[in-house]
Homo-oligomer: A and B are copies of this chain.
């Protein structure tokens, strides 16, 4: 039942240490966390609304969406989780799920027991604080999504999402043109962007025709990064990538 995970936890640890200073001992404690691997098929919920969960899930491979819903069954994705993300670290302190988690493609996750996370958080205050910080940074993404859905038109909104995912996949910085895997359908993108699949299709077509980005079935090919940033009105500072937050030296203030 317990497997020694090597790479997935390293990825998660790297994200933690990029935001929070952790001592060797603390890092070892995280890498030593027991975890149970699990496969989830496409369009399968692995956490249901209202369910009381007893473990958090680390994405190893695939893509996970956090789903909200309105009364008529309209679906809204409120978060997208890629490999290396903990989908619900927050459930450690609030175990009753207020939204469902669904695999958007065949996905491998690692289940980590709350009890174990709780234990190392109590034992190492710096880890507790690091977990708290990760939840806060996730919330910063959510706030940006509210702005994106509320105050940008369909074209800009689509570009903004693609910019965010490009940054999170770590592809940015290799020049103006590059590509990354994004195993989401246009319907999924519509659920993220609060657009109909038809309109997502129109926007992707328009961006493709303008030579900005080509979104294939499971892969995004960025053709002109600068243009996409401009169209998407994208400022990556909310992602806190590679920014240590636990000291008091804030970076240069954003404009």
The CA of A139 and the CA of B251, in the complex, are separated in Å by 24
The answer to whether A145 and B146 have CB atoms under 8 Å apart is yes
Chain A 149-191 near chain B by CB (<8 Å), digits 1 or 0: 1111000100000000000000000000000000000000000
Name A198-255 residues within 8 Å CB distance of B: 233, 237-238, 240, 243, 245-246, 248, 250-255
Given contacts A49-B254, A93-B136, A139-B139, 12 further A-B contacts (CB under 8 A): A49-B253, A50-B250, A50-B252, A51-B253, A66-B143, A68-B146, A70-B156, A78-B143, A90-B139, A94-B140, A121-B125, A128-B132
Contact indicator A144/B68 (Cβ below 8 Å):
yes
Copies in the complex: 2
Point out residues on A near B: beta carbons under 8 Å.
48-52, 54, 66, 68-71, 74-76, 78-79, 90, 93-96, 98-99, 121-122, 125, 128-129, 131-133, 135-140, 142-147, 149-152, 156, 193-194, 233, 237-238, 240, 243, 245-246, 248, 250-255
The answer to whether B70 and A152 have CB atoms under 8 Å apart is yes
Closest Cβ neighbor of A74 among chain B residues: B151
Inter-chain CA distance A173–B149, complex, in Å, is: 33
| B98 with A245: CB separation less than 8 A | no
